[in-house]
Amino acid sequence: MNKKRLLSETLLNDNSLAGALYNRGTEDEVTCALPVFRECCYKCLRPVSSCHCRQIIPLSTRTRFVILMHPKEYKYQKLGTGRLTHLALSGSSLLSGVDFTDDPTLNALLRNKRYSPHLLYPGTAALNISAGELPQVPSDRQLLVIIIDGTWACSRKVLHLSANLHDLPRLVINPGSPSRFTFKRQPKPHYIATIEAAYLLLSALADSGLENPDPRRKLLLDLLDALVSFQEHCRHIRRDSSYRHN
pLDDT tens-digit readout, 58-85: 899 999 999 999 888 756 555 678 888 9
DSSP secondary structure string, 62-76?
A: SSEEEEEE-HHHHHH
Per-residue model confidence (pLDDT) at position 20? 41
Confidence tier at 36 by pLDDT (50, 70, 90): low
Taking 70 as the threshold, does the pLDDT of residue 151 lie above it?
yes
Greater pLDDT, 214 or 143: 143
Greater pLDDT, 32 or 147: 147
Per-residue model confidence (pLDDT) at position 223? 86
d(CA 136, CA 16): 60
DSSP secondary structure string, 76-99?
A: H-SS-SHHHHHHHBTT-EEEE-S-
Per-residue model confidence (pLDDT) at position 232? 67
Mean pLDDT computed over 28-34: 45
DSSP secondary structure string, 126-138?
A: -EEGGGT------
Q: What is the distance between the terminal CA atoms of the chain, rounded to a whole angstrom?
A: 35
